């Protein structure tokens, strides 16, 4: 049986359903991030959220039961749809130990990098997943170096 306290990482992509003008979208993203930081810290969850108007991609890592609990809430959120789990597995270490939820907003490189998820059926699911995870990681690390593009809140230290 799966160990509910084992360190677990889940990566999914979804389609944005937040409509309206830029200010409204920004307020909704802010609300998501506020909820994430409040709840994730209490649950021992860290991760990263990427948003590019059309898509979300999110990494959640923490104790398996906590990740599954918060993901059950997230997947019922009507601000996104077509949730597609790219990977979900026990892991040895956290990749985002310092962020309750790193946020990476719209950027040209992200738009370009994500194009293949939509358009390229050539890659096997595992390969797509590895590539996506790599992109999320790279963007999270990049954003640490250029904080003007992002809003990365520290987690527990
Ligand atoms: C793309 C997306 C990612 C989200 N990620 C998180 C998250 O990591 N943690 C979280 O608590 N809520 C997240 N939410 C918000 C939840 O769906 C829900 O609104 C929130 O947990 C409610 O928090 P509250 O009960 O404290 O008001 C996310 C929502 C969306 C649309």
User: Higher pLDDT residue, 7 or 2?
Assistant: 7
Q: With a 6 A CB cut-off, is 13 part of the ligand 1 pocket?
A: no
User: How much is the mean pLDDT over the chain?
Assistant: 80
- For residue 98, the enclosing domain spans 7-154
Tokens of 62: 């923490």
Position 33 in a domain: yes
Give the pLDDT of residue 96. 87
Query: 100 CB less than 6 Å from ligand 1?
Result: no
> Could you tell me if residue 1 is inside a domain?
no
pLDDT of res. 115: 61
* Ligand 1 center from residue 84 Cα (angstroms): 16
The enclosing domain of 59 has a CATH number of 3.30.70.100
Which helix or strand (DSSP H or E) is residue 125 part of?
helix 125-145
- pLDDT at position 8 over 70: yes
Residue nearest to atom 21 of ligand 1 (CA): 35
For the record, the structure tokens of 69 come out as 């609990």
Least Cα distance to 36 among 3, 14, 62, 65 occurs for: 62
pLDDT digits (tens, 9 = 90+) for 96-143: 888 888 787 766 666 666 665 555 555 555 666 677 777 776 766 665
101 CB less than 6 Å from ligand 1? yes
Report residue 135 as tokens: 């992109």
Q: Residue 93 Cα, ligand 1 centroid: separation in angstroms?
A: 23
Q: Looking at the predicted structure, is the pLDDT value of residue 48 above 80?
A: yes
- If one counts every other C-beta atom within 10 angstroms of the C-beta of residue 56, the result is 23
Q: What are phi and psi of 69, to 5 degrees?
A: -65, -50
Mean pLDDT of 22-40: 91
Alpha carbon distance 116, 106 (integer Å):
16
Which ligand 1 atom is the nearest neighbour of the CA of 77?
17
* Cα 122 to averaged position of ligand 1 atoms, centre (Å): 32
Residue 14 lies in a domain: yes
Q: What is the pLDDT of residues 64-82, one digit of tens each?
A: 999 999 999 999 999 999 9
Per-residue b or e along 108-147, where b marks 16 or more CB atoms closer than 10 Å to that residue's CB: eebeebbeebeeeeeeeeeebbebbbebbeebbeebeeee
Q: Is the CB of 58 under 6 A from ligand 1?
A: yes
Q: Is residue 2 part of a domain?
A: no
Which residue owns the Cα nearest ligand 1 atom 20?
Answer: 35
- The finding on whether 82 has its CB within 6 A of some atom of ligand 1 is no
CA 13/CA 130 separation, integer angstroms: 13
- Total of domains in the chain: 1
């Amino acid at each position: 049986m799966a160990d509910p306290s084992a360190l677990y990482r889940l990566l999914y992509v979804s389609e944005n359903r937040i409509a309206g003008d830029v200010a409204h979208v920004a307020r909704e993203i802010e609300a998501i991030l506020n909820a994430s930081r409040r709840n994730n810290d209490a649950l021992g969850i860290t991760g990263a959220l990427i948003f590019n108007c059309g898509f979300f991609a999110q990494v959640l890592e923490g104790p398996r039961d906590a990740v599954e609990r918060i993901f059950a809430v997230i997947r019922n959120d009507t601000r996104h749809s077509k949730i597609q789990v790219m990977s979900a597995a026990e892991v040895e270490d956290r990749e985002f130990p310092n962020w309750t939820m790193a946020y990476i907003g719209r950027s040209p490189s992200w738009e370009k990098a994500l194009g293949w998820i939509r358009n390229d059926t050539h890659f096997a699911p595992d390969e797509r997943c590895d590539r996506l995870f790599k992109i999320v990681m790279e963007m999270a690390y990049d954003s640490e170096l250029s904080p003007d593009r992002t809003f990365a809140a520290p987690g527990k230290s």
